[in-house]
Structure 1
Amino acid sequence: MQSTKKSFKEIIDVIKISNKSDRMYFPLIILRSLVTASFPFVGIIYGALILDGFINGVGREMIMRLVYQMIILSAILLLSRTILHFFCDQKTNLISLKLNSEISRKTLNLDFEQLESQDMKDKLSKANQGVLFSGGIGSFINSLGYMIENIISFLYALTLIITLFIRVDVETPDTITSLFNSPLIGVGIILLIILSIYMNFRMIQKVNKLDYDIYEENITVNRLFFYLKDSSMDYKISKDIRLFHTDKLLADKIHDTCFRFGSSYGRIATKAGKMTAQGGIWNNIVLYTAYTVIGIKALLGLTSVGNVLLLVGVVTAFNTSIVQIINNITSAATQTKYLALYKQYLDTSTKLYKGTLPVEKRDDGQYEFEFKNVTFHYPNNDDIILNNVSWKIDMGKKLAIVGPNGAGKTTFIKLLCRLYDPTEGEILLNGINIRKYEHKEYMDLMSIVFQDFKLFSSTLKENVKGGLDGNDDQIVHYLDQSGFSERLENLPQGIDTYLYSNFGEKGIEVSGGEAQKIAIARALYKDSPLVILDEPTSALDPLSEYEIYTKFDTLVHNKTAIYISHRMSSCRFCDNIIVFDKGEIVQSGNHEELLSSKEGLYHTMWSAQAKYYNV
């Protein structure tokens, strides 16, 4: 009972989600169901009336009137059904697209911390696969329409099947005639149908449970399959696939996941086949019993020939509609389990507290950031990444953050950007905890180029400006400032040239160094008071990196800037340098001060790299 209530609630929830996208969709589905269910009964009823008319010698005029009525009514219903099918199919596709896009929208609005968690990756995978296995919410609502259609068909048939219960007046009936003239015959057939319904219901429930259990079992296998499939078609890694002969490895892994998936479904195929066969046997027993009873009643003169035609059609429709209703209900219950995963993902709430305090607008860009006793470890991992870090980022100054890989440099920036919140301690903006500021306004204070930055398969212009306003001259200007002007001059459509060729456009490929210059231009274009470069030039040689940093320092002369690197090219022109090692600040000062400490980590790192900078 509890399970039924839950399934019903889930169905209502899905209908509500659908109505948010299009309020007319579900009413149109119901109207289509009514028209579609009515159509076959026009032929059944009028066919019986016309046949009885012929047998009983009704006049030709009356017969033709019935024929015309049947033709006109059938034509109206057929035309209406065709029109409604067209509109419903169009809306089904549109709603499926709209609701599937909600997954992307939700993902874009989740916290960065949530996106990195394995739990959220599983939720996203289940949501996508839930839509795939259920056909989406549009498909589900469409299926509900078919269930409504079968319910209406059942009600029509139930109304007409009452003739099985009607007792006919017969003079001096014998025992057999009395038996088949009894309403108990009709009751017996109905009970037989109910028994068949119950058997089919149990059978379909078991098959759907097996199907869902296999789906749950194969969540990870499916995700692996789609990853491998996408990888095999990703032209960006096609060189590695061919050079290192990973084509066989990918093919073997795809074959293995298909085999594992196929084996799982193979296990239920035999069981499902046997259960389906049992349900079919029960259906045939019911139908042939009903046909036999109707035939005997006709032979005994207890019903007309036209009524035989009517009853055969009605009993068939009655039995079919009930079986279909059961199938629809159990299928809907299973689909709602899939779609519940979709809804569960959409209902995921963000964890990051997003304050309401507006960020002070300052034309001079004087924003002071401070770390106070900040300790941090990633969720579900007790390893300390930053340990009791305190540092004030002076306004309008240039800060270099250096240290070996894994020292905590990038984590320091992730916390500053509020991609994560500190485990302990606090980060302040102009003396106020950054958690209290309105999140978007706070994020607008900084332009960042991360080491693992990404460009999109879109135009060069859109990659630079993102969602910001501006003009083409500014885009060209910042591309020139980042060192991309020489390549820009040779692009076929200038800043309107597509990068990459993922979507059929004739896009260009850019090297790692060129991509980094575009990313730097994007950061400059945002024109934020705080600019951060988190090792974005790692694909460049040391001299090119030094030139980029030197030019970049000139460009951001009136801004607060942070340069992060395990190389030292950015350090000489910075006001302050902090050296990270094992999650702690182990040294701080300017270049000369740190270089004079020959026992320090900075001196060791600089000495190892100085030959690359002509010093």
Structure 2
Amino acid sequence: MKKDSSKSFRKDLKIIIHFLKLTQKINKSYVPTLITAALFKALTPLVNIIMPKFIIDELLMDMRIDFLVMLVAITVVSNLILNIINRCFAKFIAVKDLEISNGFDLLIGKKVMNLDFEQIEDPEVLNLKELAVFPVRDQGTIQFMVQDIMKLFTQCISIITLGAVLITLSPILVIFIIVMVLFNTYIFNRIQKTQYKMNQDIIIFNREYVYLYNIGDDFALGKDVRLYNMSPLIVNKLLKYNDKLLNVFNKGNIKIGKYEGMNKVNFQLQTFGTYGYLVYRLLTGLGIGNFTMYANTTLNFSTAIADCLSCYVGISQKCRYLELYLEFEGLKSKKSIGEEATKSISDFTIEFKNVGFKYPRSKNYTLKNINITIKPEEKLSVVGLNGAGKTTFIKLLCRLYEVTEGEILLNGVNIQKYDYDEYMDLLSVVFQDFKLFAFTLKENVGLLGWDNIDDKEIKGVIEKAGLGNDLNKLSKGIYTTVYKIFDKSGIELSGGQSQKLAIARAIYKNAPIVVLDEPTAALDPFAEFEIYSKFNELVGGKTAIYISHRLSSCKFCDNIAVFKNGEIVEYGNHDELVNEHGLYEEMYMAQAQYYV
């Protein structure tokens, strides 16, 4: 048992030191400010304990008016000065708390953005993130823990000074108070553990609850919610989560209520015992002044011990929350950083060699035995039915996932061996489920070089993508904000316009390898023809990998890879595949009848 307690203490101490270092990095003056504030707080009760004794003694004995006035003045002025100082510290610390909170928000944001794509799709990682982030971001656990540490420091000073005063009256009384407070602390510890269990259960529900709650004001889902009258379904799901939450609250609060009842009884016994003893001493010769001083000392001493122990328990419980944050913080990226440079390479040959892949926690392979070589400046079209593995093929090339079997080579070198950032510079990708941000058109296109954007170049790529006429109609031009979330004068783009803007983003990056995943899915046939007509102009002499359901686009490509059930079943150019009378011809003819 002692070993477990010692181990737990060492673990808590390690967590405390880690987060104190983090807060120190965010704001160097935060902890020193709290320590100074703690010292002044420790002084405050001493004035109100010692000074009343001298005032009462003077009233009962010599009654020197000038001396009484001086004592009262010292008491009032001391309290005034200390209160002003404490209030100033409180205001200053509140500002520092906000800075610390923002600092941890930034750390969390960076961590989330640096997680592997595989990790942000993993429910276990998402649950860990919620358990770790919610206490830090929404409950201020770190700031409260640091403040509890300072409060613990304050109360320790108070215990030493007040105990020194009280022990002159009766060591037995000191022991009695300590025993009663220790029992109270045990009860408080049980309450904290119950509260922790409740919070852990609630946080897991909270991730799903918040998702449902936010559906109502998510403009991307707004049309479906209204057209399909989804309100009853969403409300029903919310009510179910409410029932789950209420069940957790009821069970937890019943336990907490029992513990709080025990706490009240114990407090009354402590009060009866201490004041009973003081009255006894008063009747046996203790002076009124001393009685007042010891009464105040007893109250403050028991409060200081209770606060000290509750702070310790509170810190220990907060460490349990922060332990999860450390686990989240310590999530390792599975992606290899690599050291090989790509900047010296001018021509890029991509080779998938016996590549197989299955998603995490899946037993089935999404891709099987993929073998294909993409030559420099080649235009490759990847086609197939839904679920054939086309987008997964691109995700592997983009290093969003690592292959399960085989390898992907760039100029004969495994892509995992290349410097990650340099490798990313080689790719301009537009996924079918791309996202635009509530930023300006300029920022949406120039994401990668947002701090050094050339306006003329931005306008040029927007025009190349087919949005020139739309851009000319905007009074703010490329400084127009996308969406009206933050700007009333913002614009709502159609599906086709959004896709063209995403294509402009890929062109602006000017990478040697362009990947377009269903780039014309949201475009009408005329806009589609316009994009295809400009295709060679858009990608120039770059290598292009093109995923499409509309097989008319394949005529623009050098080669076509036909995917079925995670395998490449046909490969060649358009004419060759039509003459093979296989799956490609079947798909092509099925679509062609709607255009003839």
Fold match (TM-score > 0.5): yes
Partner of 2:585: 603
Separation (CA, whole Å) in 2 of partners of 1:160 and 1:448: 74
Deviations 1:463-491 (A, max 9, x none): 11003133111111111111112222222
Q: 1:44-193 maps to which residues of 2 (within 5 A)?
A: 44-57=49-62, 59-131=64-136, 134-164=139-169, 186-193=170-177
Report the counterpart of residue 392 of structure 2 in structure 1: 411
Q: 2: CA distance between counterparts of 1:265 and 1:506?
A: 45
Matched residue, 1:311: 294
The residue aligned with 2:360 is 379
Once the two structures are superposed, residues 16-40 of structure 1 have per-residue CA deviations (whole angstroms, 9 ceiling, x without a partner) of 2222212221121121111112112
- Deviation, 1:613, is 5.5
- The CA distance in 2 between the partners of 1:555 and 1:13, in whole Å, is 51
**One-letter code aligned to 1:522:** R
- C-alpha distance in 2 between matches for 1:139 and 1:552: 58
**Mapped partners of 1:143, 1:506: distance in 2:** 47
2:152/2:307 contact within 8 Å kept? yes
SS of corresponding position for 1:452: coil
The separation in 2 between residues aligned to 1:588 and 1:242, in whole angstroms, is 45
Partner residue of 1:439 out of 413, 420, 433: 420
Give the structure 2 partner of residue 30 of structure 1.
35
Matched residue of 1:577: which SS? strand
Q: Counterpart amino acid of 2:508? A: Y
Q: Distance in 2 between matches of 1:397 and 1:132?
A: 48
1:2-41 paired onto structure 2 within 5 Å: 2-41=7-46
Deviates more, 1:418-427 or 1:270-279: 270-279
Pairing of 1:440-519 with structure 2 (within 5 A) = 440-468=421-449, 469-503=452-486, 505-519=488-502
**Secondary structure in 2 matching 1:466:** coil
What is the CA–CA distance in structure 2 between the aligned matches of 1:377 and 1:521, rounded to whole Å?
Answer: 32
State how far apart, in whole Å, the 1-side matches of 2:484 and 2:330 are: 35
| Aligned mates of 1:529, 1:522 — CA distance in 2 | 14
The one-letter code of the counterpart of 1:503 is: F
- Matched-pair contact (CA < 8 Å) for 2:131–2:204: no
- Paired with 1:482 and 1:132, the residues of 2 have a C-alpha distance of 41
Q: How far is 1:161 from its partner? A: 1.0
The Cα shift of 1:133 comes to 6.4
Aligned residues: 589
2:246 is the counterpart of 1:241: no
Q: Is 1:326 equivalent to 2:331 in the alignment?
A: no
Match in the other structure for 1:290: 274
Question: Helix, strand or coil for the counterpart of 1:503?
Answer: coil
- Equivalent in 349, 361, 375 of residue 332 of structure 2: 349
1:423 equivalenced with 2:404 (yes/no): yes
Provide, for residues 542-577 of structure 1, a one-character-per-residue CA deviation record: whole Å limited to 9, x for no partner: 453233123122221211111111221321021111
Contact persistence 2:338–2:418 (CA under 8 A)? yes
1:204 is matched with which residue: 168, 188, 197? Answer: 188
Residues 1:518 and 1:486: Cα distance change in structure 2 (over 3 Å): same
Q: Give the TM-score taking structure 1 as reference length.
A: 0.92
Q: Deviations over 1:394-444 (max 9, x none)?
A: 101211111111111111111111111111111111111111110000110
Equivalent positions of 1:536-555 (< 5 A) are 536-555=519-538
The Cα RMSD (Å) is 1.9
Mapping of 1:244-263 within 5 angstroms?
244-263=228-247
Contact 2:441 2:479 in 1 (8 A): yes
TM-aligned CA distance change 1:511 to 1:270, over 3 Å = same
Counterpart of 2:125, as a letter, is M
How far apart, in 2, do the equivalents of 1:75 and 1:214 lie?
42
* Structure 1 position 220 matched with structure 2 position 201: no
What amino acid is the match of 1:124? K
**Is the CA contact 1:92–1:142 (under 8 Å) kept in the aligned structure 2?**
no
Q: Is the 8 A contact 1:196 1:279 kept in 2?
A: no
How far apart are the structure 1 equivalents of 2:417 and 2:588?
A: 40
Contact kept in structure 1, 2:432 and 2:518, CA below 8 Å: yes
**CA distance in 1 between partners of 2:527 and 2:591 (Å):** 14
Q: Residues of 1 paired with 2:401 and 2:420: CA distance?
A: 12
Residue 532 of structure 1: CA displacement? Answer: 0.8
